[in-house]
Amino acid sequence: MYTPIANAQSNTADSAQCEDTHPLLSIEITLSRFADDEELLSEVAAVFVRTVPKLVTSVTDAVSAGDLERAFHQAHSLKGAVAAFEAPKVLQAVLEVEGYARKGDAAATASAWPAALPLVERLLTELALVAPAGNAAAAAEERGR
């Protein structure tokens, strides 16, 4: 039986093999968090894909400006969004950014964010495969702005 979740898992694995990396998102564990409700997972993924690009921009702007208070708050929000899914590498990277910003360590924050950013972007790509097509397309357009 074809389902968007199964297809996303297959596409993510194929994509990961091309990049010689493993998927960041464990769809099986994430789906179990949503009581195996594929529709709910799809809807939450769509919200993530639609809203996280703005958080990414906010964190990037705050880190670039040396505004650690804003970087902390935006990274904290991003952490909450990422934590809804089983993507431990992404969560750990965002936690580091949040922690450094909270401690007021500008250099460490500025170093940690460029390491976290590509992981967040990969998670966005993986979740776009899970999100309903219309929402994923709208989010891709939003990221391009």
Could you report how far apart the first and last alpha carbons of the chain are, in Å? 37
Say how many domains are in the chain.
1
Q: What is the pLDDT of residue 94?
A: 98
Lowest mean pLDDT among 6-10, 46-50, 126-130: 6-10
Pinpoint the alpha helices (H) of the chain: 4-19, 27-33, 38-65, 68-83, 88-103, 106-128, 133-144
pLDDT in tens, 31-74: 999 999 999 999 999 999 999 999 999 999 999 999 999 999 99
Q: What is the pLDDT of residue 134?
A: 54
For 69, the domain range is 4-144
pLDDT in tens, 88-122: 999 999 999 999 999 999 999 999 999 999 999 99
Q: What is the pLDDT of residue 131?
A: 87
Identity (one letter) of the amino acid at 5? I
Q: What is the CA radius of gyration of the chain?
A: 15
Query: Is the alpha carbon torsion for 82, 87, 88, 90 positive or negative?
Result: negative
Lowest mean pLDDT among 19-28, 73-82, 117-126: 19-28
CATH of residue 90:
1.20.120
CB 119 within 8 A of CB 93: yes
Mean pLDDT of the 130-139 span: 63
